[in-house]
Structure 1
Amino acid sequence: MNTHTIDTTTPVIPADAYDTAAFFADPDAIAVVTNTTAPDAVPLPAPDAATADLLTAARQAGRRAVPAPLAETALVARPLLHRAGLPTPDGPLSYAIAPELTIRFAHPADSAVGSAGCAGADDTLLVTGTLRRVPWARTATAVVVAATAPFGPVLFTLTPDQAVLTPGANLAAEPRDDLHLAAVEIPAAQVRRITPDLLAEAELRAALARAALIAGAAERCVELTVAHTTARTQFGRPLSGFQAVKQEEARLIEEAALVRAAVQAAAAPLDAGGCSPATWFAVAAAKTQAAASAAEIARIAHQLHGAIGITTLHPLHLATTRLWSWRDEDGDETTWAARLARTLSAATLWPTLTATP
């Protein structure tokens, strides 16, 4: 007789209702993800926490299909605000990297040198353009925007109600909204001039956050698949007793381990070097590996689950639809493979590959 048992040992936060405000207001809910307990339960890791700790939280968010921008908040938005010296709002945060925005001074200063508007009486900005597919924009307390202003790279915050929001979603039904800005005034207190390195770091953090989420979803695919092949019997023995199934399970575990190792290897370079060549190499390798492995992980998991893995009643789809979505967000494997290659030369390839992370 065939039997099937869905593994329920790993709590998965339901994705039916996106009550992100309630999630971020409840330390116990976040503690489930960050694996902390009272009295150590905290809303989120500190913005200046070690990247390894932030990656752990992001990976667990991916593993548990958290219906909130935990990785975006903890690993991208809060550290960028901290580095730029901007206040960190409470609650869920999102980010946008938008070099195509039109930005000008709201209060132009008289200047005898340079074109009109090349200087401002202060850093209050007028911003026009569209922020496309902003993760969780409709639920965010604020969106952290990295862009280029007349005076160079800039980081500023805005609230979704300052823009016209066009709702959207990815394949996993996670919000991906467009924010249309028409000469929106950003007060100088919400603006910070930043270095080109910090602007680049925003891109690196976004890609690494997505890779960490993929690593977590991959772990969930492994857990569910092993539980299914152990519980499901065919011809009088568990599916896991068949050699072909064992081989596919081994490949699944291998791919998940590759992603996790690549993500973990990027933590130390990001802490130590900011936007050094070593950091670019590590993050590019992590996102390339994560995006490339996502399709294979989802394929094997669905193949070993059979038809039941396709249904919305089974938790597998919470992981695989996210894998398919996240592999393309913040740069797919083709984009990051090209960047990975640009960090290397004939002289640096072997030392880079053999260096201790």
Structure 2
Amino acid sequence: MNTHTAAPMNTHTAAPMNTHTAASMNTHTIDTSAPVISADAYDTAAFHAAADAIATVTNTTAPDAVALPSEDASTAELLVAAQEAGRRAVPAPLAETALVARPLLRRAGLAVPDGPLSYAIAPELTIRYAHPAASPVGSAGCLGDDDTLLVTGTLRRVPWARAATAVLVLATAPFGPVLFTLTPDQAVLTPGGNLAEEPRDDLHLAALEVPASQVRRIDAELLDEAGLRAALARSALIAGAAERCVDLTVAHTTARTQFGRPLGRFQAVKQEEARLVEEAAVVRAAVQAAAVPLDIGGPDAHFAVAAAKTQSAASAAEIARIAHQLHGAIGITLLNPLHLATTRLWSWRDEDGDETYWARRLARSLTAGTLWPSLTATP
């Protein structure tokens, strides 16, 4: 049993850091009955020591096991796993791997590496041919003997870069949109984190040569899909964290008594709890409604994902506000698990496009003739 100290005078005991079954699929146990330790204190290297360790996320009791769907699972199945990861504040890039990196690699025709994966959408990188071709037409370097690239620049705030087996990069090369992979040890890594202390690392690339075998030319549609997948993954995590806020708040107002009766018996508290449940339900519905459109693609996918991220980002602040208000001062302490959900809500609402960005995209996708059908159509 490993013991981590998250802060002075605050020691959390988690389940064994690298517990794997003897079966063909390795599992890692996360004891959800104990407080979840902060991401920076979590031994991510041990968690991902086995190639398929990310395959399952389990509770200490088998009936509560949450399995990561297979690589060919539908988006709806992957969203369920991501939502559960958000609810448990799982310190691992489960959503990034399942919903973003793996599907995009398969679409591009690249092999999917084992282990945890991350992604970076980086149009600001400087990319040129590593083997420029001599050509009398066009400027120097406009053609290459092959697609081997020299990449310079910084990938900023890459989720879980330090724990990733590989990072999927989407950028613009001399020949147009491009997708390629790299490993964190090919870059200079500057550690960083979000408000919830999840890793958000900068990767600095200095004329990194990416072999043609790791490079794929892609169309603008796939580049756009990457942004949609990243936003929907973040929305699913928010939906899970919102559900956790509801669970913790209802448990607190049921157990806590004031003036001789539980807090949950007071009308004002009941009203706020109802609003909390309502906000969480709206986020969950918006995320679920985007699953089928994303699988199909096209304008419906843009509308559904934009609606999901706009709603989840807008609701995150209200959900956190109500949860903390009903918890009182105890809710902001490290001893209370509420902060593990609310700090993630505050972080995730701004990542992969904030509320304003996606609200504008949502508005641009609608006209007077398409608004009503978009609102009333069955997903």
Compute the TM-score of the two structures, normalised by the length of structure 2: 0.87
- Deviation of 1:27 after TM superposition, in Å, equals 4.9
Q: Which stretch of structure 1 is more off in the superposition, 203-212 or 18-27?
A: 18-27
Contact 1:99–1:148 at 8 Å: present in 2 too?
yes
- Deviation of 1:166 after TM superposition, in Å, equals 1.2
CA distance change for structure 1 residues 107 and 36 in 2, over 3 Å: closer, same or farther?
farther
Equivalent residues in 2 for 1:247-286 (5 A)? 247-273=271-297, 276-286=298-308
Contact 2:118–2:166 at 8 Å: present in 1 too?
yes
- Deviation of 1:161 after TM superposition, in Å, equals 1.1
Name which of 56, 68, 86 aligns with 1:30.
56
Q: Which structure exhibits the higher relative contact order, with contacts defined as CA atoms closer than 8 Å and separated by 6 or more residues?
A: 1
The answer to whether residue 123 in structure 2 is matched with residue 131 in structure 1 is no
The answer to whether residue 191 in structure 2 is matched with residue 167 in structure 1 is yes
Name which of 313, 321, 327 aligns with 2:343.
321
- Deviation of 1:37 after TM superposition, in Å, equals 6.7
Contact 2:38–2:196 at 8 Å: present in 1 too?
no
Name which of 84, 97, 110 aligns with 2:108.
84
Contact 2:58–2:66 at 8 Å: present in 1 too?
no
CA distance in 1, matches of 2:269, 2:37: 30
SS in 2 for 1:95: strand
How many residues of Structure 1 are paired with residues of Structure 2 in the alignment? 345
Name which of 307, 316, 322 aligns with 1:300.
322
- Name the residue aligned to 2:71: 47
- Name the residue aligned to 2:358: 336
Percent of pairs identical after alignment?
79
Structure 1 unaligned runs (5+)? 1-7
Contact 2:54–2:94 at 8 Å: present in 1 too?
no
- Deviation of 1:41 after TM superposition, in Å, equals 8.0
CA distance in 2, matches of 1:333, 1:78: 26
- Name the residue aligned to 1:5: none
Compute the TM-score of the two structures, normalised by the length of structure 1: 0.92
CA distance in 2, matches of 1:150, 1:169: 32
- Deviation of 1:110 after TM superposition, in Å, equals 1.9
The amino acid of 1:63's aligned partner reads R
- Deviation of 1:32 after TM superposition, in Å, equals 1.7
- Deviation of 1:48 after TM superposition, in Å, equals 2.8
CA distance change for structure 1 residues 18 and 46 in 2, over 3 Å: closer, same or farther?
same
Name which of 132, 137, 140 aligns with 1:116.
140
- Deviation of 1:319 after TM superposition, in Å, equals 0.2
Deviations 1:227-262 (A, max 9, x none): 000011111111110000000000000000000000
Name which of 208, 221, 239 aligns with 1:197.
221
SS in 1 for 2:56: helix
- Name the residue aligned to 2:38: 15
- Deviation of 1:307 after TM superposition, in Å, equals 0.8
Structure 2 unaligned runs (5+)? 1-30
Contact 2:93–2:116 at 8 Å: present in 1 too?
yes
- Name the residue aligned to 2:230: 206
- Deviation of 1:23 after TM superposition, in Å, equals 2.9
SS in 2 for 1:148: strand
